[in-house]
Copies of this chain bind each other. A is one copy, B any other.
Amino acid sequence: MKLIIDAMGGDRGLSEAVKGVADASLEVDSLFVIVGDEEKIREELAPLEADHAKIDVVGAECTVEMTDDPMVILGSKRNSSMGVGLKLLKEDGDAFISSGNTGALFTGASAIIRGAPGVKRAAIATILPFEFPILLLDSGANVNVIPEYFVEWARLGTIYAKNVLGVEDPAVGLLNNGTEPHKGGQTRAEAYALLSDLPGIRFVGNVESSELAHAPCDVLLTDGFTGNVTLKLIEGMSAYFFSTMKHIMTESVLTKIASVPLSGRVKELKNVFDPTEYGGAPILGLSKPVIKAHGSSGAQAITAAIRRAEAFVRSGATEMIIEEEKKAGERSGEK
């Protein structure tokens, strides 16, 4: 197996990405290719404890920045670390991991890796960080949707949840503004009807956002706009809560002492909501696995994303997706 890692473009810099690969090399049975500023990568890598024989470094001219227009990946920055990484994936790689610009990664992957045969629209599947995590798709790529996308994403999400995340018989919900089947406008009402009648999918109906903390489903379907708002609101709310709690707990000598027996449990709760703990967000529906690691991934998060990518490749989920979409195409052809 050959896993390709973009060392550039993340918020926390090249050294964290390199450290993440070095650590992964000691436990994951794969070859690794780190792409980016070759000299700096080699400099960072040399002193680290790693299985150096398994790690290769490939240079790239430039970096796609977070603020760049996604289209640069196909134009002025096609030779960036992200662009080079995607090309290496296409040639003979097994998966690509980047913590860079999400839009550029989706655009580049869709154009260079291309969709898996039979897939209409790839989606970004992000794990919502709750005590019982939920796989949300689409979490940002497709602002405009049709009912058929939800149906396809139900299949993609179910395969990934079952075979990569290890969820037995995943429950699939549709994010909506009420639980009744007609809710959420025409697109969602039509999607509800289609999903209710979908072979091999355990559809549990509409899910309201107020319920997300209470394990309403394993896979949650929505459009990329609402998905993005949901994801960022969870991040923003939990960051606000924990920074306010920290403030409360450290306000005075008294509260600092009082907080000692509580801080371990508050820390645990905080970790539940840490988006970098979940091994990254796969773009589902491509011909080969591409994983978006969180923008603020440190070494640990990169290692977790590598583990996830390895599990993704090993599971054969991409092949299953191609097989399922082929069957679905045949079924709709029969009608």
Contact = CB atoms under 8 A, between A and B. Distances in A.
Interface string A147-159: 0000000000000
A258 interface: yes
Given A212-B233, A233-B233, A140 B261 contact: no
Contacts of A276: none
A143 B184 contact: yes
Nearest to A249: B262
A236 interface: yes
Interface string A207-247: 01111111000000000111011101111111111001100
Contact of A258 (B144, B233, B238, B261): B261
A234 B210 CA distance: 7
Contacts of A240: 213-214
A307 B321 CA distance: 57
A46 interface: no
A185 interface: yes
A225 B184 contact: yes
A15 to B, nearest CB: 26
13 contacts: A143-B177, A177-B224, A208-B236, A210-B236, A210-B239, A213-B240, A233-B237, A241-B241, A244-B269, A255-B262, A258-B261, A258-B262, A262-B262
**CB-CB nearest 9 A-B residue pairs:** A210-B236, A213-B240, A209-B233, A177-B228, A210-B232, A143-B185, A209-B232, A258-B261, A248-B265
